[in-house]
Structure 1
Amino acid sequence: MEPVLFPENPQFWYETLRSFGHIAYGGADFGETLVTAGRITAGDYDSWHDEWLAAAERVSADGRTALKGGHGISARDAFLRASNYYRSAEFFLHGTPDDPRIRRAYDASVACFRAAAALFTPAIEPVTIPYEDTVLPGYFYRADDSGAARPTVVMFNGFDGTAEEMHFAGAAAAVERGYNVLSFDGPGQPGTRHHHGLVFRPDWEAVVGPVLDHALTRPEVDPARIALLGNSMGGLLAPRAAAFDHRVAALIAFDGVYDMAEFMTSALPVPGDRGEIERRLRADHDPELDAVLEAGMASSSMLRWAMAQGMYTMGADTPRAFGAAFLDYHLRDGVAERIACPTLVCAGVEDGFFKGQPELLHEHLTCPKTLLEFTEEQGAGAHCQAGGQRLAYARVYDWLDDTFGQL
């Protein structure tokens, strides 16, 4: 989709499209998003923060007023939108990890979402999932109050999204169709990075394992029908987990990613073949490459943000150290081939981040598999089908209905 706003800044446009997409499940309103975006100076992270924060503060105040007046649905709707706007506000600030605006906006996003969660029927339950010597934050959604065991979708976000955002990115759509949902933030994702300092790890099965242990303590969860859905970079992490934990009965890579190393080496403005670039990324010292990366960040808004976000979520001190860490995130060496459950791989044909990666993953799968492509003509060709959420989740959950049998 050609940029409608921020034509010279694809990163700002995509993040705006992301909020437009969340309109489908209550995460934004068109006018609020359009007016807020119109006040932002392209490429200016402070302007982005200030305008989204102002929108969030205004809408959250509406929610508090509605709640005080006994208008529960109006309050719930306002809190949902405010949660997403607060999430947007701190999105570009991670290049300065000690910026107090990050924690303030993030905590407000969580607080607004939890205020909304309490106003659903059944209420969305905040949960803490035991993980190593700490916990993972998340939410459990019940399809109804019957207590009957139901198929359940365990889901998580990717490189830059929150468990709260998963409400708009798969959870609400699943509950509408009779599924329970368990969403969570793993290491490196906002709920653990901001408050516990946890950073990403490539062996994601060590993360999903404790989450499935928790899910299986709940009588509402049918242990034979647990699906795992990973969003964005989660489209690599979820397949990695399913390859090693066969309690996953169905897998959804939304969108599919096979090899972050290929993505990283092809995206860098560095001469040489992949092997040479990988060697230089892993080297103890390479001041020339360091300078090239810094120059690339200065000239490319996409690279600037990706490097800053990657350093933050991976706990890397330099752009090159982040690049080296990303090389370990892949499904090569027979990992994809270990996946046994039916797998749906989604692909946006105009994905600005991982174009071609879903097809690579699908090619390497040996399990029952489906490649589901979304196009520009459908308005859903962008990364993770931003802007085409109703269409995307209809097709995803129709596939899951057919895989598990009609509910």
Structure 2
Amino acid sequence: MEPVFFPDDPQFWFETLRTFGHITYGGADFGETVVTTQRIKAGDYDSWHDEWLATADRVADEGRTALTHGHRISARDAFLRASNYYRNAEFFLHGDATDPRILHAYDASVACFREAAGLFTPPIEPIAIPYENTTLPGYLYRVDDSGTPRPTVVMFNGFDGSAEEMHFVGAAAAVERGYNVLSFDGPGQPGTRHHQGLLFRPDWESVVGPVLDHALTLPEVDPARIALLGNSMGGVLAPRAAAFDHRVAALIAFDGIYDLGTITTSPVPGDRAEAERRLRADHDPELDAVLEEAMAASPMVRWAMQQGMYVMGAESPRAFGAAYLDYHVREGIAEKITCPTLVCAGADDGFFAGQPELLYAHLNCPKKLLEFTAEQGAAAHCQAGAQRLAFARVYDWLDETMGAAASAGSVRS
């Protein structure tokens, strides 16, 4: 899809497209997104923050006013949109982890989402999942309050998204179809990185394991029908977890990733072994300079390096590149997955082109590659802008794989 806004800044355009996509499940409105985008100066992170914050503040005020007057649906809708707009506001600020605007906007995003959560029927329940010496924040969505065990989708976001955003990226769509949902933020993701300082870890089975332990204590969860969905970078984290935890009955890689090390080694001269050696070296001023030049030349590289340093706790772009090498399902890991697996792929993925196909090729389990095209308006990374089409196809596969969800077609109010 050709950029409609920010034609010279693919990162700003993708984040705008991502916001347009969230319209489908209530995370944005078209006019609000357009007028906000028109006020933003391309490539200017401060401008991006200021304009999205202003829109978020205005929409949140609309929600509070509606709630004061007893208009619960209007309030819920406004709080959902404001939550997503606040998420947008702090998105590009992570180059300076001490920037106070990060926590201000993030906390407002969570607060607005929780206001909205309480206005659903039944309410979406904030939860704290025991994990090592702390907890992981998340949400439990119930189709109804009967306590009936149902198939459940455990889901999480990726490199830069939150559990709150997962409402628009799979959770609402699942509940419409009769699935319960447990969404959460793991280490390195916003709910743990911003306040607890937890950083990403490659052995994601050590994260999903405690989450499944918690899920299995819930009477609403059918233990034989738990699906695991990983969004974006979750497309490698979820397969990694499923390879080692066979309580997962079905796996959805949205989109699939086989080896993130390919992303950081491909620009480095020499073969893979030489690239890895240089990324992990104590000193490589020449490669450091190359990476700095790449950040100056490319808005996508600039953002990815800054975000990666923030969520991995890396002190330099090269250190982030070295950390990324550990995120893969190579060396026989993908082959350990036994549950039916759906691998999604966008034809024009600007981040992980070719990765879904690699993951799919290494799977020995029952598997399906679900390809999305430009003609469908769904070719972008994680089918941004095409959520209705994408989740219809994803959950139709899940229905057929795990058995139709109880009370399929149930719509929340």
Pair in the same fold by TM > 0.5 = yes
Structure 2 distance, partners of 1:313, 1:120, is 32
Give the corresponding residue for 1:318: 316
Give the corresponding residue for 1:330: 328
Structure 2 distance, partners of 1:244, 1:389, is 30
Tell me the SS of whatever aligns to 1:222: strand
Give the corresponding residue for 2:219: 219
State the shift of 1:146 in Å.
Answer: 1.2
Alignment of 1:66-105 (within 5 A): 66-105=66-105
State the shift of 1:296 in Å.
Answer: 1.0
Tell me the SS of whatever aligns to 1:345: strand
Give the corresponding residue for 1:347: 345
| Paired letter, 2:63 | G
**Deviation per CA, 1:1-38, whole angstroms, max 9, x where unpaired?**
11110000000000000000000000000000011001
Tell me the SS of whatever aligns to 2:155: strand
Structure 1 distance, partners of 2:87, 2:348, is 25
Moved over 3 A (4+): none
Give the corresponding residue for 2:292: 294
**Structure with larger RCO (C-alpha < 8 A, sep 6+):** 2
| Paired letter, 1:100 | P
Give the corresponding residue for 2:193: 193
| Paired letter, 1:363 | A
| Paired letter, 1:264 | T
Give the corresponding residue for 2:303: 305
| Paired letter, 1:273 | D
**Deviation per CA, 1:181-234, whole angstroms, max 9, x where unpaired?**
000000000000001000000000000000000000000000000000000000
Structure 2 distance, partners of 1:262, 1:304, is 18
Tell me the SS of whatever aligns to 2:329: coil
| Paired letter, 2:95 | G
| Paired letter, 1:43 | G
Structure 1 distance, partners of 2:42, 2:265, is 27
State the shift of 1:288 in Å.
Answer: 1.0
Give the corresponding residue for 1:371: 369
State the shift of 1:351 in Å.
Answer: 0.3
Q: Does 1:208 align with 2:208?
A: yes
Alignment of 1:3-402 (within 5 A): 3-266=3-266, 268=267, 270-402=268-400
**Deviation per CA, 1:310-353, whole angstroms, max 9, x where unpaired?**
00000001111100000000100100000000000000000000
Aligned residues with identical type, % of pairs: 80
| Paired letter, 1:197 | G
State the shift of 1:273 in Å.
Answer: 2.4
| Paired letter, 2:14 | Y
Structure 1 distance, partners of 2:367, 2:194, is 36
Structure 1 distance, partners of 2:27, 2:198, is 27
Q: Which moved more, 1:290-299 or 1:362-371?
A: 290-299
| Paired letter, 1:263 | I
| Paired letter, 1:340 | T
Root-mean-square deviation (Å): 0.6
| Paired letter, 1:292 | V
**Deviation per CA, 1:80-125, whole angstroms, max 9, x where unpaired?**
0000000000000000000000000000000000000000001000
| Paired letter, 2:45 | Y
Note the residue ranges of structure 1 that are not aligned, 5 or more in a row: none
Tell me the SS of whatever aligns to 1:337: helix
Counting matched residue pairs gives 405
Give the corresponding residue for 2:409: none
Tell me the SS of whatever aligns to 1:224: strand
Structure 1 distance, partners of 2:200, 2:394, is 27
Structure 2 distance, partners of 1:395, 1:46, is 38
State the shift of 1:145 in Å.
Answer: 1.2
Tell me the SS of whatever aligns to 2:390: helix
**Deviation per CA, 1:135-187, whole angstroms, max 9, x where unpaired?**
00000000111110000000000000000000000000000000000000000
| Paired letter, 2:293 | A
| Paired letter, 1:6 | F
Structure 2 distance, partners of 1:205, 1:273, is 30
Structure 2 distance, partners of 1:249, 1:114, is 30
Structure 1 distance, partners of 2:271, 2:380, is 28
Structure 1 distance, partners of 2:307, 2:277, is 22
Note the residue ranges of structure 2 that are not aligned, 5 or more in a row: 406-413
State the shift of 1:272 in Å.
Answer: 2.2
Structure 2 distance, partners of 1:58, 1:387, is 24
Tell me the SS of whatever aligns to 1:276: helix
Structure 1 distance, partners of 2:289, 2:307, is 19
Tell me the SS of whatever aligns to 1:253: strand
Structure 1 distance, partners of 2:21, 2:402, is 28
Structure 2 distance, partners of 1:229, 1:211, is 13
| Paired letter, 1:76 | R
